[in-house]
């Protein structure tokens, strides 16, 4: 992975880390994940990375029906 790709993803990883450091709401967490996933799909065309992000997010959003439906629609 190039340095630029890492730099492009850093703000999204920082937002994910902030979820746990600042104890954000589930709604805020969901939005952070969805922004990151959208970036991977629309900006990068990285469908495998987007799938990995969905799976990471589902560790804590496992009870969110809308997030599950979004994931199912994606796959």
User: pTM of the entire structure?
Assistant: 0.89
Provide the residue ranges of all domains of the chain, joining segments of one domain with +.
24-75
For residue 23, the model assigns a pLDDT of 86
Taking only the tens place, the pLDDT of each residue in 42-55 is 988 999 999 999 99
Q: How many CA atoms lie within 13 A of 66 on its CB side?
A: 6
Q: Looking at residues 8-21, what average pLDDT do you find?
A: 93
Q: Which runs of consecutive H residues, i.e. helices, occur in the chain?
A: 3-21, 26-38, 47-57, 65-74
Taking only the tens place, the pLDDT of each residue in 22-35 is 988 989 999 999 99
Taking only the tens place, the pLDDT of each residue in 63-74 is 999 999 999 999
Residue % of the chain over a pLDDT of 90 = 80
């Amino acid at each position: 992975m190039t340095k630029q790709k890492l730099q492009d993803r850093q703000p999204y990883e920082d937002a994910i880390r902030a979820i746990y450091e600042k104890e954000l709401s589930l709604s805020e967490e969901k939005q952070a994940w969805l922004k990151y996933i959208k970036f991977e799909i629309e900006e990068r065309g990285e469908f495998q990375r987007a799938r990995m992000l969905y799976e990471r997010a589902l560790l804590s959003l496992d009870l969110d029906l809308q997030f599950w439906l979004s994931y199912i629609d994606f796959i």
